[in-house]
Each structure stands twice: as C-alpha cells, then as structure tokens.
Amino acid sequence: MKKRFHCPNCKTVLNPNVKIVLTVKHGKKLGMILMSPQPGNYRCLKDDNFVYEEGKMVTFMCPACNESITSKSNNRLAHLIMSREGHRDSTVEFSRIIGEHATFIIDGKDVTGYGEDSDNYEANVRNFFGS
C-alpha cells in the first residue's frame, strides 16, 4: 500500500513518486535531498556539491512552503505526516544530525523506533506522545 508523506505545515505530498524530497539547510547552504520512504533506510540522494559532515545538525524544510519541519517533541528531530489509505495518519520523526540513525513512527500512542541511535531519543519521544 502506498505511503504518502506530507508536510506538517502545508500538507503537500512530498513523495510524488517513491523517494521523499526535502530541502536541507546546512549553515547558509541549501540543497535538495531525496530520502527513502522505508524507516531505517538512511541512504539518501543529494547533489555532490552539497557537502555536509557527519555529526552536523541540518534543518529540513518543506520544498513547497519553505517552512522548517523541525519536530515539536525534540529540537534534534524533524517530522512529517504519513498517510496510508484505510489508516489514520501517523507521524514520522527522524534525526536532524547527519549520520545519526534514529527514526520513529508514531501511530496514536504507539511509538516504533528504527535505527541504531533511536535509543537516544526513545524516552523523550514516548513522553511527548504520551504512551
């Protein structure tokens, strides 16, 4: 079943095909990034001229409305809305730190973590979403 990822601000679908397209800001530099819709798959595509270092925090932004999608639960995470036909919407949260593998899918009060660094955030995300 196709998953659609939406901007939390303007609700635009950010994966018109398969990959999720986001604007990424590192210092004053801007780039476009394509991310996998599979939680726990951290391979992403970007322009080779857009260089960022492991361990640096970037800001993910919606390419449609240009708003930051930084999470309200934790400043180190970004968030998107995930919709599937026949399901209620869930929230996807993922790390803003390059090279840090932490993703959460929040479905109501159920929080599922992916990636080897998700333990660093799990308690925080669970507290915020009240499970």
Residues at the contact surface with Zn ion, assessed by CB under 5 A:
7, 9-10, 62, 64-65
Nearest distance in Å: CB 65, Zn ion: 3
Pick between residue 61 and residue 106 the one whose CB is nearest to Zn ion: 61
Q: Any idea what DSSP says for residue 27?
A: T
As measured in angstroms, the least distance from the Cβ of 69 to Zn ion is 8
Please state, in angstroms and rounded to a whole number, the distance separating the CA atoms of residues 86 and 45.
30
Among candidate residues 75, 5, 76, the one with its CA nearest the CA of residue 38? 5
For Zn ion, the closer CB: 30 or 65: 65
In the complex, what is the shortest distance from the CB of residue 70 to Zn ion, in angstroms, rounded to a whole number? 13
107 beta partners: 110
Min dist. Cβ of residue 72 to Zn ion (A): 15
CA proximity to 5, closest of 92, 86, 73, 70: 92
Closer Cβ to Zn ion, 52 or 60, answer by number:
60
Q: What angle do CA 69, 73, 77 make, to 5 degrees?
A: 50
Q: Which is nearer to Zn ion, 13 or 64 (CB)?
A: 64
C-alpha span between 70 and 88 (Å, rounded): 22
